[in-house]
Amino acid sequence: MDMPTGTMRSPVHFAVQLTHFEVGLFETLTLSRLPPEDEALRPALRALIADAIVDLPMHRRARSWQGFDAAFSRKLGQAGYLGLSLPKEYGGVGRGPFTRFVVVEELLSAGAPVAGHWIADRQSGPLILHYGTEAQRQFYLPLISKGEALFCIGMSEPSSGSDLASVRSRADRQEDGGWLLNGQKIWTTNAMHSDYMIALVRTSGAGADRQSGLSQLIVDLKLPGITIRPIVDLTGDAHFAEVFFDNVPLAPDALIGEEGQGWKQVMAELAFERSGPERIYSSVVLIDAWVRHLDAVGRKDSASLRLLGSLTAQLAVLREMSLAVTARLVAGESPVVEASLMKDLGTGFEQAVPQLIGDDLASHPDEPVDAELYRTLLYVTHIAPSFSLRGGTREILRGIIARGLGLC
């Protein structure tokens, strides 16, 4: 799940939104078209995905972007589907957010296991490109683009959830310019599978200093002093973990970006994390299975068709909104408010899907329901609360939108 984080109170980042509300703030979102050269990627990518999922049962495909398969991630990297927005000089593909939209859409629609490369491809790569030193870029970005460096993000701590600025993990500068890291992270997605963590930690000051004194460090998870304990969730999966740091020695080049600027960097990163199509498609494997079920049992009554049409219509609008936010990224903007708005609506939809489909199926108790469909329904039902926790809770997002409206 990763990171129910971010109180988003950075004065720098909010300069745009704190200007008083004007008519038209939300009118930046308009219908956008994917470029034909990006659309053209679909057939070849589909063939690659079909190979990877041929033996995956539906309830595994319903894991959406939590399904882990390092070999598949490497295969995508070799075929040129990772590092899409990273420059070619760093081993990337040199395209942009629209290309990534197409690739992500294909992967999620099929239920491909993408967790391995997900965080590195979505946010760590762009973060290192933007804030990293030349040496860091040359080292990490080619590995990310090949699917060979898996990243996790260390934000939440036992007493720092939505109030991210309260993190207590601490890295103290050593005489050789390196760092000594102590503390604990929790709910860290894929920590046990990852090569590196980008951790938000305190490098100066105390808790009362809030956003100042925080920095981002790249932690090699093979270093001594690191203990990773997977946490099992209510579906039986262990996709997140606790990570303990006990006097972990870090080299001077572990710092990414500027010391003390970690908060600002994290906020920019969360805009990437919140704006993608993964915020509307988490339940789409279930929808497709239910559509096939309706066909198999020959159900065509008006209540069923209305529910089918309503879910389809809502997803069509959400897709256009997600594409519109992507177009803002393409234009070089950081659409923080728009991404928050889209994520809140999108995850609300994703969560409504299992509830509504569950009611539909259980309203027809004499109908035969495939056991795999039932298993998928219950998996999505149980995991759905995470959709509006990961990447910033509903309440935090609505606070951001409220500030965008000029309230408070």
40 binds another protein, rule: CB under 8 A: no
User: Which residue from 281, 329, 339, 373 is in contact with another protein, where contact means CB under 8 A?
Assistant: 281
310 binds another protein, rule: CB under 8 A: yes
Whether the Cβ atoms of residue 318 and residue 385 lie closer than 8 Å to each other: no
User: Which residue from 105, 157, 242, 269 is in contact with another protein, where contact means CB under 8 A?
Assistant: 105
Return d(Cα 305, Cα 34) in angstroms, integer.
Answer: 30
312 binds another protein, rule: CB under 8 A: yes
105 is catalytic: no
Q: Of 273, 278, 338, 350, which residue is the catalytic one?
A: 273
User: Please, which residue, 39 or 220, has the CB nearer to another protein?
Assistant: 39
Whether the Cβ atoms of residue 366 and residue 350 lie closer than 8 Å to each other: no
**Maximum C-alpha span of the chain:** 74
CB within 8 Å of 350: residues ≥ 6 apart: 279, 280, 281, 282, 283, 384, 387
Q: Exposed, middle or buried by CB within 10 Å (0-12, 13-18, 19+), for 123?
A: buried
Return d(Cα 31, Cα 343) in angstroms, integer.
Answer: 17
User: Which residue from 212, 309, 359, 370 is in contact with another protein, where contact means CB under 8 A?
Assistant: 309
Return d(Cα 74, Cα 64) in angstroms, integer.
Answer: 18
User: Which residue from 114, 119, 149, 321 is in contact with another protein, where contact means CB under 8 A?
Assistant: 321
306 binds another protein, rule: CB under 8 A: yes
54 binds another protein, rule: CB under 8 A: no
9 binds another protein, rule: CB under 8 A: no
191 binds another protein, rule: CB under 8 A: no
Interacting positions 324-383 with another protein (CB under 8 A): 324, 341, 344-345
CB within 8 Å of 133: residues ≥ 6 apart: 253
Distances (CA, A) of 7 to 142, 348, 395: 32, 20, 10
User: Which positions lie near another protein, rule CB under 8 A?
Assistant: 21, 23, 26-27, 29-31, 105, 108-110, 281, 284, 287-288, 291-292, 294-295, 300, 302, 304-310, 312-317, 319-321, 324, 341, 344-345, 395, 397-399, 401-402, 404-408
Catalytic positions are 273
